Amino acid sequence: MKVFFIGGGNIAKIVYQELRDEIEKCWYYDVIETDLPCERLERFFVPEDADVVVECASVDAVKQYGLDVLKSGKDFYIISSGAFSDVEFFDKFMEELKRSSQTVYIPSGAIGGLDIIRAVKKFISKVELVTRKPPKAFNLENLSEEQVIFSGNARQAIEEFPQNTNVSMTLSLAVGDFDKVDVRIVADPKIEENVHEINIYSSVGEYKIIHKNKPSPNPKTSYLAPLSLVSALRKRAERFQVG
Structural contact between residues 195 and 212, judged by C-beta atoms closer than 8 angstroms: yes
196 is catalytic: yes
Q: Which helix (H) or strand (E) holds 94?
A: helix 87-98
SS3 call for 200 = strand
Which amino acid, residue 124?
I
Alpha-carbon distance of 221 to 198, in angstroms, equals 19
Given 196, 211, 216, 230, which residue is catalytic? 196
Query: Beta partners for 26?
Result: 3
Q: Is 110 marked within a binding site? A: yes
Q: Is 154 marked within a binding site? A: no
Q: Residue 107 CA to chain centroid, in angstroms?
A: 6
Burial (CB count within 10 angstroms: exposed 0-12, middle 13-18, buried 19+), residue 133: buried
* Closest to 221 measured CA to CA, from 4, 7, 5: 7
Alpha-carbon distance of 96 to 98, in angstroms, equals 5
59 contact partners, CB below 8 Å, separation of at least 6: 80, 82, 83, 85, 162, 165, 166
Q: Which residues line the annotated binding site?
A: 110, 166
**Active site residue ranges:** 196
Q: Which residues line the annotated binding site for NAD(+)?
A: 110, 166
